[in-house]
Amino acid sequence: LLLELSALSRSPQSPRRRGLLAACVRFRPSVLRLLLVFPAPTSALPSRMEEPLRYKFGPYKIDAREVFHATPLTYAMVNLRPLLPGILSAQGHVLVCPKREVKRFADLSSDETSDLWVTAKEVGAKLEQYHKASSITFAIQDGPQAGQTVAHVHIHVIPRKKGDFEKNDEIYDAIDVKEKEMKEKLDLDVERKDRSMEEMAHEATEYRALFS
């Protein structure tokens, strides 16, 4: 009764409101005084739809559909351009990033550092099992001379299988190449020609189910 009466406060001459006021007065006169003093509660009014989640990767906006796992400090997303397209493009090469835009690893807080690695560990374990891999590569390029092209700390998490690279260290050269390509793709926004949003969203949906 009170919620309905409050919701009608913007129509003081409404017959329905006058009838409700009369009922309130009969039961408890003090109710009338309260309703005249306090505005309608927000819960009685239609609420606005919440804005969709947005993530930043350096200066770039990341669509929430690309993100498959998140904590209060960290998020994990599918890769715009994974290693070895056609071979490992759907084999779990993902990025784990702090939500706060942080350029260098040393600039992370202790809580962010811990959460980043715990999240990377959990993501790696689930993707290794999901893709029936036998090992995982975790890689950070900390600064431009280390190969970092997007100034936002991120861990490459890559499930590994026997024979995926002829020499194990070749994976680091491949990561360097893909870092540069990723920067170019983000700048030009032409990665959609190779991986559509639908493809990335589908992959993220599969991984998201691993954490439900």
27 and 101 fall within a common domain: no
154 is a catalytic site residue? yes
Query: Which backbone phi and psi does 100 adopt, to 5 degrees?
Result: -75, 140
**pLDDT confidence band for 125 (50 / 70 / 90):** very high
64 and 157 fall within a common domain: yes
- The number of domains in the chain is 2
**Torsional sign, CA 194, 197, 198, 201:** positive
pTM here is 0.65
Residue whose C-alpha is closest to residue 120's, from 147, 105, 139: 139
- Please give the residue range of the domain that contains residue 36: 2-44
Question: Can you give the C-alpha Rg of the chain in angstroms?
Answer: 26
CATH classification at residue 108: 3.30.428.10
Q: Which amino acid is at 192?
A: R
Calpha distance 198→178 (Å, rounded) = 21
- Active-site entry in 69, 93, 152, 154: 154
Those residues whose C-beta lies under 8 Å from the C-beta of residue 174, and which sit 6 or more positions away, are 83, 84, 165
58 and 30 fall within a common domain: no
- Is 49 domain-assigned? no
Residue whose C-alpha is closest to residue 65's, from 53, 47, 50, 82: 53
pLDDT, tens digit, for every residue of 6-49? Answer: 554 555 565 665 665 566 555 555 554 554 554 444 444 333 33
Calpha distance 65→74 (Å, rounded) = 16
